Amino acid sequence: MSGGVLRVAVAGATGRTGSEAARALRAAEGIALVAAVARSRRGEDLGHALGEAPWDLPLESDVVAAIERTQPDVLVDFTLAEPAAMHARLALERGVRPVIGATGLSGADVEGLRRLVGERGTGAALVPNFSFGVLLLNRFCREAARYFPAVEVVESHHVAKRDRPSGTAARIARVLESAGADAPVPVHSVRLPGLVAHHEVIFGGPGETLTIRHDTLHRSSFGPGVVLAARRVMAMRGLAEDLEGLLAATENPRRASVG
Ligand SMILES: NC(=O)c1ccc[n+]([C@@H]2O[C@H](COP(=O)([O-])OP(=O)(O)OC[C@H]3O[C@@H](n4cnc5c(N)ncnc54)[C@H](OP(=O)(O)O)[C@@H]3O)[C@@H](O)[C@H]2O)c1
């Protein structure tokens, strides 16, 4: 932090989700968006690349060079699973706290990050969904799992989504299992044009069902959660694995250490 301003770099800044994260971070009070990384369009202004007036922020293609030049506090990453895991390691080795929005990281990558975060005594967040609606869906699911003997998850996404099931659905399944649902909770995946991101959790009991559903209608819904995560990751130790874990770790000082 320099002069009370949180310095944030975004990787994947030209992408469908990373661009919305960059917009929200740029508009947030007390945050300076200091670097933008993508594979292509090196040297082009990010605002221009997004079809807007210039932001005075040239795109870079090398995450290490961007970190060393701009010394961010936090790296927000919306690239893809493999580059995001690598970027997070490179960031942690340079004292930068990662907030990983990319989904589909392997179990080995997650464990490697948890180890590195522990060794460095720092904080990092792996957040499969930044929307407050999904945070609440997880809370409601935990409550419903206490009353219903059976539950399945249906996740539906746009056709360009690479991972299946979605990171959000995989996380919902783990939340349900930890609340007592039989493991593994079945997850069904739908990929169709016209969809953005939709999660449905269907509980079944004698003579009734309960459906808890969340719809992402636009990726701007992720912005407020990204801003919150970038701020909160500075106040925690360990690896938070969703927004709720990050909030819990930073709201209650006795739980300021996770993972
Ligand atoms: N956590 C959440 O709330 C949330 C919400 C939605 C999506 N996601 C996840 O976010 C990720 C991105 O999804 P998206 O739909 O936004 O993808 P996208 O539109 O394809 O954007 C990917 C971005 O990452 C860049 N990129 C890819 N590989 C890179 C590399 N090796 N080095 C540097 N930059 C690289 C791309 O730059 P080029 O175009 O130049 O290659 C582009 O800017 C996915 O894992 C998705 O599941 C998470």
Q: Whose CA is nearest to atom 10 of ligand 1?
A: 102
Question: Rounded to two decimals, what is the model's pTM?
Answer: 0.92
Encode pLDDT of 107-123 as tens digits. Answer: 999 999 999 999 999 99
Q: Which is the closest atom of ligand 1 to the Cα of 87?
A: 32
Q: Indicate which residue's Cα is closest to atom 27 of ligand 1.
A: 79
- Walk me through the domains of the chain, giving residue ranges and CATH numbers: 6-126+220-255 (3.40.50.720), 132-217 (3.30.360.10)
Quick: pLDDT tens for 84-101: 999 999 999 999 999 999
Tell me, yes or no, if 161 is annotated catalytic: yes
Query: Considering just the CA atoms, what is the radius of gyration of the chain in Å?
Result: 18
User: Is the CB–ligand 1 distance for residue 165 below 6 Å?
Assistant: no
Residue 259 has pLDDT above 90, yes or no: no
d(CA 154, CA 48): 38
Confidence of residue 253 (pLDDT cuts 50, 70, 90): very low
Which numbered atom of ligand 1 lies nearest the CA of 162? Answer: 47
Among the listed residues 157, 198, 199, 214, the single catalytic one is 157
Q: Is 218 designated active site?
A: no
Residue 10 pairs in a beta bridge with 36, 76
103 Cα nearest atom in ligand 1: 45
DSSP result, 38-89: -SS-TTSBHHHHTTSS--S-BEES-HHHHHHHH--SEEEE-S-HHHHHHHHH
Whether the CB of 102 sits within 6 Å of ligand 1: yes
Q: Does 103 sit in the ligand 1 pocket, CB within 6 Å?
A: yes
